Amino acid sequence: MLNHKCFIIAELSANHGGSLEIAKETVRAAKRAGADAIKLQTYTADTITLNVRTDDFKITQGTAWDGQYLYDLYKGASLPWKWHKPLYDLAKEEGLICFSSPFDKTAVDFLEELNTPIYKVASFEITDIPLISYMASKGKPIIISTGIATIEDIELAIETCILAGNKDITILKCTSAYPAAPEDANLLSIPDIAKRFGVKAGLSDHTLGIEAPMIATALGAKVIEKHFILDKTIGGADAHFSLDEKEFKQMVDAVRLTEKLMGKVDYEMTDKKKKSREFSRSLYVSQDVKEGDVITKENIRSVRPGYGMHPKHYNEVIGKEFTGDFKKGTPLSWEQF
C-alpha cells in the first residue's frame, strides 16, 4: 500500500463544516487534487476528553483555539461516526484509500467494522501505549506522528507495535504547532528517523505552503500528510492551516516533480549521454601542419566538439612529429604521429 512513490494523504480532520455533503465533496476534491488517500479522525468529545470546566481543560497555549474548553472544541470538530461508512464507500468509488486516526479502543473496533486498511496514531496519542498496542494488534500498517515525542516515546511506540506483532510502521516527523513555523520544521529529522529506528519515515506537515513537503520528499519521505479543506470560507478548527484544492494540487505536482528530479543514483552511459558527448572537448589540429612538424601547444588544442583524441593525452603527444599534412580543424588521432 505504501509503495515506492510518496504516499500523499489529504487530512479531512475538522474541515467538514458540520455537513456530510461538504465532507463528501472534500473527498472528491482530494481525488481531483491528486491525493492517494483521505484521512478521517474517529472520536467524540466524550472519547477524547472530559466535560470539565476547570483550567486543566481550557486551552491556553497561544493557539487559534485559546479560551475554548477541550470538550467544546472536540464536540464541534468531530466527524459524526455515522458519516464514516458513506465516506469510506465514496473514497473507494473515487479510487482513494480512506482510513482514520482512532482516539480510543471503541473507535478502533468501529473502524475494524469498516475494514479500515491503515491506522494513524495522532501526535498527542503517541504516549497512549495501550491504544497503540490495540491498533497494532489488528495487523494493519500503522502510521505514527511525533509532534510531541521524545526519542524514548518513539522507541516505545515502535517497540509496542512490534510486540503486538506489527512491523509495518511509518513514523512521521511532525511539529505540533498550527501553523508550524519554518524554523521549527527540522526536516533533517526525516532521514534520521529512517536510519535511527529502521522504519519508513515521512512528514505530517503543519507549515503554511508547499515547500516543506517538497523538501521532505527530497530527503526520502515515504508519506506526506497535509490538512485539506474544500474551501477556507467554510471555517472551522483547522481551516487556517489547511490547503484548498488548488493549493493541494500544486503540492502534489511539486512532490511528484521532486520524485522525478531525485531519480536514482545513475552513472550509466545511455545513448542520449553518448550523443551529448559529441559536444565535449577533444584534441584538434589548430593550424595547418606538414609532415615532420613537431606537435606543439600552438598547433593542437583541446576544443569542442568531441570527435578527436581524449584531452587526457595532451601532454603525452606534445613533442611528437606529424606523419602527414593536416589541415586546421582535423581531429587528432594516434595515426597522425
What pLDDT is attached to residue 99?
98
What pLDDT is attached to residue 335?
94
pLDDT tens digits along 173-206? 999 888 999 999 999 999 999 999 999 999 999 9
User: Can you say whether the dihedral through the CA atoms of 109, 113, 117, 120 is positive or negative?
Assistant: negative
Torsion (CA) 249, 250, 256, 259 in degrees, nearest 10: -150
Name the CATH architecture for the domain at 271-336.
Answer: Alpha-Beta Complex (3.90)
pLDDT tens digits along 230-260? 999 988 778 888 999 999 999 999 999 999 9
- CATH tag, 7-43+78-262: 3.20.20.70
User: What is the Cβ-side half-sphere exposure of residue 118, based on CA atoms within 13 angstroms?
Assistant: 26
User: Which ranges in the chain are annotated with CATH 3.20.20.70?
Assistant: 7-43+78-262
Contact 321, 290 (CB under 8 A): no
The residue whose grid cell reads 521532505 is: 216
What pLDDT is attached to residue 1?
47
User: Which ranges in the chain are annotated with CATH 3.90.1210.10?
Assistant: 271-336
Torsion (CA) 231, 232, 235, 240 in degrees, nearest 10: 150
What pLDDT is attached to residue 3?
52
What pLDDT is attached to residue 322?
96
Query: Residue 50 gets which letter from DSSP?
Result: -
Low-confidence spans in the chain with pLDDT less than 50 = 1-2
What pLDDT is attached to residue 4?
61
Kind of pairing, strands 142-145 and 119-121?
parallel
Q: What is the pTM of this model?
A: 0.87
pLDDT tens digits along 1-20? 445 689 999 999 889 999 99
